[in-house]
Structure 1
């Protein structure tokens, strides 16, 4: 038998209006035991009418569409289906976003809603050029139902479909999951009689197709909860319930990502689980849950599979991208300083290109100075999975170690006094908190210990005592484990922990630590080592806080002498000792001994440290307060006013030292009898301390006590007694019944009762 060659079909990318070999057949002809490919006869594209309601849209989601009203409105405004505009006008609209964000769901919803307004709607799998061709070939088969096209080349069928679209305007093509603008360029350029809607994880390049960009973010909290409850089969009642709170907590944990919510909701419905049950399992078995389809079908879409595709692509282009993503998994999700990541690359500026590639594929969001990554991307990137080459144990462990190194290298020195470094600390602190929350203390390294120690110092200086104490305790434990009980680092950590206890007025724990540290320091470091002298100074401070001035003053005097001899008279530590000794004299009522020491310390601090150094401001504040206590208001008030202005300028309005200065100024006004200025300042200080430090902070309790005193001075005993009663109860609860401040509160309340004529309550308190 003789065979004749069929004419070559043109490529679907060919420009012009040629149709694909009309009259040519690629059907099968059977002749005995031989099959011959006969020519396929297709009609002219222009002659084939569009079947009514022509579309190949996937079935819409079973749940109601929620949370995308604004984005839906943006699509409708941009595309304006053809009954609202000329059919010759073409619009190309691109939607980008993280995998699982709901791009396809929104496109599908739009297409179904507006299906009647288009002559045809065709859904195209745009992942590769081949899948685009196959999708267009199916359009040819649909419009020619009486013709067997199964044996024809897809390229020829796709070319016929393009010619058909050119002669039948008013359609909508949805290019779903496009991976590169170049794959779509020829189609968008050729087909100008309808609308193109593109979904892609890529954020760039669509402007080259004159495509309007629309970037999708996660759902709002109400929409996320609504979607989760619908999918889980839990309808909301009229009144808030525990289930509502649990659904919100789970939605927050899943980062309001639609695919994750769908996966969780379907799983909860199928397994008859609860929101809290799923959340517990997710937190303990993140890798398994991210890989577990909600409907149980082995090939269903999951978070892990969705992002694995993207990671494969970007890792092939630049392996550093996935390493950076694993590192960012240990930080807080938002506001990651880009310069924090620059040390992760061996080659200078390689991180810039890697971050840009991650941003291109919507795996992160970049600004000029920061990066953000979805919390589920983080959870996936730091969870080992032997089936995923991007998430091996060794790679994740390396990323964790690198994250710690990057944080450590970025920490400013002198956390409590280096004011210029405070903005950097505030930027880093969320990432320090996140890293430490994600690493068990048993795995802490030397770098982690340094981060803990430094962070506790910064937090302590900022008045955040709860977190400071937690980090100081973890640092002390880690140092002892890594270096031993007698190592200088362990002694420093123990001293630091005692300091946080003392600031929180927990003297029962502070003093034993302080008493132990000088003994160990003398044995390990020697009598004159600066750390030994510092531990002795701190112990004296704890004695003073406990009201034990007989123990505090001799220790302060000895430490001042030794520091002057070892470090010099003008060393900052020597100045601190002189300031502390003056404070002890003040506490003992020896103002004649305190004032000259404070005056000398202030003069030396200005000369050695500068006018605006925090220690200089402390010296000026202490001297001003002492002048007020001595009744020298002519010098006290101007000095208090200046110190408050300087601290607000240098440290900030909400710094604990600024709040102390405001409190001192209010006290000075009260001593001067100027209650019109004293009372508003006391009220403001109490409010600010409660907001910044917490209602139970010792300084907040002091402010409440002082405001009560101001009200008493103004003759308002009702309000004074109420504040004194509350302060006494809080101080007894927080500081203990025998703490000096508690005793002061009891005395003040007794005095207020007596002034009000209530001797039945005053006398027992006085006794």
Structure 2
């Protein structure tokens, strides 16, 4: 037989053999038809070279189509109802999905609760199949914090796209041994190499060669350490796709990065509700926030609640009490194999190997607020309080950058310019890993650091913005020190500074809580009668007065005064401050005589100690001017306000918020004296100062806006007055709440201008609201109540409701006679109005 003919026959025989194998792989049997066809073909081939070539080409084409076929239809395209397989065995239910994945080793089960990553899946799919040259060879490095769901994302991608590949191969890349073993196992699975006959290196080479020369494969290198560990395993040709998951964020040109963030809050809530089959959205939202929307923590929570039947709210409460224990509870679903506590251990170990300063930086961050930790304002400025390695790095830019890079590399924190941020649960685990002594030392160290660098000064607006940036970290540091009962005096002092800053920002509820904490810690650490306790009690009283709780404010002022008089004697400047504050709350409670006595005593103390031109003297002078104005001595009030203004302008300059108080007071007395032009000028100046210092929505601004509205109304511009009163009302309601005493003043003023505009119904509504608030905030017999009663009486008189008007005038007059006496201008005015309405009733 000619040599050429023999070669063709051999080729054809091989092709027929592959055809038989193909038939067997598809149907698990060799059909009789194929056997007969092959037999006839072999007989025919023997005498016909052309036939041999044709048959070989046809069969080779079929085989090639099988080996290199495109993805077949999805599982939805099953046989129509009423038909059976060609083997006529309906009891055998081989799914199309199983039929189409001959090589698949993904051991992670599909997570039925997978949610919130649709965008990432789409981005991953688009980047792998974009058609760009790099998309064919460059891997996608899915990176992020441990527990954020990188492996779960890759697993979901495999399950979602398994029909698009002939081979889907998962490699455990965290250790060199598992990396090489899993990778080389693909060569065995493909039949490229005999398992028993090859060394591991040979299997690895065979796998890489196959990947480089074939397509329709997906390779996942899960939990890779970095480019150096996996670079030799990444195919550099071929038409398959590679996904890498890693905590390492630095991949350079080795892979195209895709960062996985925590879940969006609404997605985290959906996960918790789906996972637990509960419906309490509010509790789910609170728990998701507590867990920082970290997928692993959410799954641990869901697993615990599933096992115990605990509610969302119950788990949240339990977590706040025993977070260390719950962070170690094993998850129960999806591809999560570790707890939050254990999943970061590898990262912590790597950081420790690379940079001792990075370890100390992470410890520092664990005792601060998790967001916006300033390398400049905290780390560098507070360097003297830090351990040796971090203190050294803080003084050298490159060393500090290296420490940050080591933590950023393993996704333990993020850096934006000079600000660091980390996940709150990373903080929890870092604190938990410390020994008891280490934890206490770090808490005390960070509290002392923040106490030293927190810059707030009450009378220095330049410190307010910096204090706002540092306040969350000061609060976190003080809270940790309090929790661990360390550095309590510093923690108390830090809470007091925080409270004063919040007070300046008109965040009164938070200010109150901070001052209460300061007082509590100081009492526990220093005793009930310490000088620091007097300071903190006084400052708590200041906030309570601002909030309208005058009896409680008075109680704290009196306590502070008692302590200081014992420690310093009756004529000390600290005693003068306490006496002056007590006078302020007595005035607010309507006791003008008591207020005047306290103001005069405070002023005498400060003049004797400081002389006539000290800022503390100016405060006493201004306060005395207020009570003089209240009692009708407008000339005396004006003299005191001008005296206070001269001192404050000399001390602070013309544009300080304290100066605005004096200017505003002068506007009041000019308005009451009928000099509206001068009043308007003073009010406008005060308002400019306050808006520049506080912004447009501060209670101090509301006072200036309201006063300007009053003088505009007095000048006949009712529309402008109404606009100003409405703005003042909005500010007060937002910052102070709808039941604050100042709301009565704002509503009363708005009612006045509505009455001037003949809107009697609207005016009556506002007067009545103001009366209810004033009676509840002060007492039914307070001078502020009398003011509203008089105004409401005047409106009722204008509406012709004389009997009702008389009742309001009579009640107002009783109050004014009690507090101001018969000779005060307000008392005389109300008496005259009552006389007029009585005359109308007689007529």
- Give your verdict on TM over 0.5: yes
**Residue in 1 aligned with 2:294?**
257
Alpha-carbon distance, 1:160 to partner: 1.5
Instruction: Confirm whether residue 57 of structure 1 aligns to residue 57 of structure 2.
Output: no
Instruction: Confirm whether residue 67 of structure 1 aligns to residue 105 of structure 2.
Output: no
Deviations along 1:59-105, whole A, 9 cap, x unmatched?
44231532111111211221117xx6789932321111111111111
Contact 2:660 2:685 in 1 (8 A): no
Between the aligned partners of 2:615 and 2:305, the Cα distance in structure 1 is 62
1:151-550 equivalence runs, <5 A: 152-188=198-234, 190-204=236-250, 206-209=251-254, 211-234=255-278, 241=279, 243-295=280-332, 300-338=337-375, 339-342=377-380, 343=383, 344=386, 345-349=390-394, 351-382=400-431, 384=432, 390-414=433-457, 416-436=458-478, 440=482, 443=485, 445-550=488-593
- For residues 275 and 626 of structure 1, do their structure 2 counterparts lie closer, same or farther at Cα, with a shift above 3 Å needed? same
- 1:745 pairs with one of 784, 788, 807: 788
- 1:137 pairs with one of 174, 184, 188: 184
Contact 1:87 1:170 in 2 (8 A): no
Gapped regions of structure 2 (runs ≥ 5): 1-63, 69-99, 812-843
Between the aligned partners of 1:75 and 1:66, the Cα distance in structure 2 is 16
Task: Return the TM-score normalized by structure 2.
Answer: 0.78
- For residues 494 and 149 of structure 1, do their structure 2 counterparts lie closer, same or farther at Cα, with a shift above 3 Å needed? same
- 1:686 pairs with one of 700, 725, 729: 729
- For residues 739 and 104 of structure 1, do their structure 2 counterparts lie closer, same or farther at Cα, with a shift above 3 Å needed? farther
Instruction: Flag the structure with higher helix content.
Output: 2
Alpha-carbon distance, 1:446 to partner: 1.1
SS in structure 2 opposite 1:727?
A: helix
**Residue in 1 aligned with 2:144?**
97
1:661-680 equivalence runs, <5 A: 661-680=704-723
Between the aligned partners of 1:512 and 1:123, the Cα distance in structure 2 is 70
- For residues 498 and 661 of structure 1, do their structure 2 counterparts lie closer, same or farther at Cα, with a shift above 3 Å needed? same
Alpha-carbon distance, 1:213 to partner: 1.7
Task: Return the TM-score normalized by structure 1.
Answer: 0.86
Contact 2:275 2:302 in 1 (8 A): yes
Between the aligned partners of 2:221 and 2:700, the Cα distance in structure 1 is 60
Alpha-carbon distance, 1:435 to partner: 4.2
Alpha-carbon distance, 1:437 to partner: 5.0
- For residues 702 and 563 of structure 1, do their structure 2 counterparts lie closer, same or farther at Cα, with a shift above 3 Å needed? same
SS in structure 2 opposite 1:172?
A: strand
Deviations along 1:123-170, whole A, 9 cap, x unmatched?
12121333221111111221129x751574322211111122222234
**Residue in 1 aligned with 2:765?**
722
- For residues 486 and 233 of structure 1, do their structure 2 counterparts lie closer, same or farther at Cα, with a shift above 3 Å needed? closer
Between the aligned partners of 1:152 and 1:739, the Cα distance in structure 2 is 98
Between the aligned partners of 1:378 and 1:363, the Cα distance in structure 2 is 10
Between the aligned partners of 1:604 and 1:476, the Cα distance in structure 2 is 33
**Residue in 2 aligned with 1:8?**
none
Deviations along 1:416-457, whole A, 9 cap, x unmatched?
221011111211223334445556579361111111111222
Contact 1:55 1:120 in 2 (8 A): yes
Between the aligned partners of 2:739 and 2:402, the Cα distance in structure 1 is 49
Between the aligned partners of 2:159 and 2:333, the Cα distance in structure 1 is 27
| C-alpha RMSD over aligned residues | 2.7
SS in structure 2 opposite 1:293?
A: coil
Between the aligned partners of 1:618 and 1:262, the Cα distance in structure 2 is 56
SS in structure 2 opposite 1:737?
A: coil
Alpha-carbon distance, 1:535 to partner: 1.4
Equivalenced residue count is 702
Contact 2:171 2:219 in 1 (8 A): yes
- For residues 458 and 247 of structure 1, do their structure 2 counterparts lie closer, same or farther at Cα, with a shift above 3 Å needed? closer
Instruction: Confirm whether residue 631 of structure 1 aligns to residue 674 of structure 2.
Output: yes
**Residue in 2 aligned with 1:80?**
129
Alpha-carbon distance, 1:761 to partner: 3.9
Between the aligned partners of 1:370 and 1:112, the Cα distance in structure 2 is 39
Between the aligned partners of 2:355 and 2:226, the Cα distance in structure 1 is 17
Deviations along 1:503-547, whole A, 9 cap, x unmatched?
222221222332343343233113332211211221222222222
- For residues 472 and 87 of structure 1, do their structure 2 counterparts lie closer, same or farther at Cα, with a shift above 3 Å needed? closer
466-475 vs 86-95, greater mean Cα deviation: 86-95
Deviations along 1:473-511, whole A, 9 cap, x unmatched?
332233233233333222222222222222222221222
Between the aligned partners of 1:247 and 1:720, the Cα distance in structure 2 is 45
- For residues 512 and 90 of structure 1, do their structure 2 counterparts lie closer, same or farther at Cα, with a shift above 3 Å needed? closer
Between the aligned partners of 2:737 and 2:684, the Cα distance in structure 1 is 25
